[in-house]
Structure 1
Amino acid sequence: MQQTRLRGGGASAAPPEGEDMPVVPILYFSDVLCVWAFFAELRIAAVRRTFSDQVGLEFRFCSVFGDVPNKIATSWGTRGGYDGFAAHVRHAAEGFPEVKLHDDLWRGVRPQSSLSPHLFLKAVHLAEQDDKCAAGSFERALGAMRHAFFVDGRDIARLDVQRAVGEAAGAPAAAIQDYLDTGRAHAALSADYKEADVLGVKGSPTLILNQGRQKLYGNVGYRIIEANIQELLREPNPDQASWC
Structure 2
Amino acid sequence: MEPIRIFYFSDVLCIWAYIAHIRLDELKTTFQDQIAIEPHFVSVFGTAHEKLENGWRDRGGLQGYSNHIQEVAKKFDHITVHPDIWANFTPHSSTSCHLFLHAIQLLEAKGLVDQSQQVFEKATWAFREAFFTQLANVSDRKVQFQIAEELRLPIAGIQAQIDSGEAYAQLSKDFELVKEHTVTVSPTLIFNEGRQRLNGNVGYRVIEANIRELLHNPPGEQSWC
TM-score (norm 2): 0.94
Q: What pairs with 1:1-244 in structure 2 (closer than 5 Å)?
A: 20=1, 22-135=2-115, 136-237=118-219, 239-243=220-224
Q: What's the secondary structure of 2:134's corresponding residue?
A: coil
Distance in 1, Cα, partners of 2:145 & 2:218 = 41
Kindly provide the amino acid, as one letter, of the partner of residue 92 in structure 2: Q
Contact 1:31 1:114 in 2 (8 A): yes
Extract unaligned runs of 5+ from structure 1.
Answer: 1-19
Structure 1 residue 30 displacement after superposition: 0.3
Distance in 2, Cα, partners of 1:192 & 1:236 = 30
Deviations 1:123-151 (A, max 9, x none): 11112111222322111111111111112
Q: What's the secondary structure of 2:193's corresponding residue?
A: helix
RMSD: 1.4
Q: Label 1:243 to 1:62 Cα distance change in 2 as closer, same or farther (>3 A).
A: farther
Q: What's the secondary structure of 1:211's corresponding residue?
A: coil
Kindly provide the amino acid, as one letter, of the partner of residue 226 in structure 1: E
Q: What's the secondary structure of 1:109's corresponding residue?
A: coil
Deviations 1:136-184 (A, max 9, x none): 2111111111111112221101111111222233422111111111221
Q: What's the secondary structure of 1:26's corresponding residue?
A: strand
Higher RCO, 1 vs 2 (CA within 8 Å, ≥6 residues apart): 2
1:8 equivalent in structure 2: none
Kindly provide the amino acid, as one letter, of the partner of residue 99 in structure 1: I
Q: Which moved more, 1:174-183 or 1:30-39?
A: 174-183
Give percent identity, aligned residues only.
43
Structure 1 runs, 4 residues or longer, greater than 3 Å off? none
Q: Label 1:208 to 1:236 Cα distance change in 2 as closer, same or farther (>3 A).
A: farther
Distance in 1, Cα, partners of 2:188 & 2:194 = 11
Q: What's the secondary structure of 1:97's corresponding residue?
A: coil
Deviations 1:63-104 (A, max 9, x none): 100001110121011111111111111111121023111122
Contact 2:62 2:86 in 1 (8 A): yes
Contact 2:49 2:91 in 1 (8 A): no
Q: Which moved more, 1:145-154 or 1:48-57?
A: 48-57
Distance in 2, Cα, partners of 1:236 & 1:56 = 18
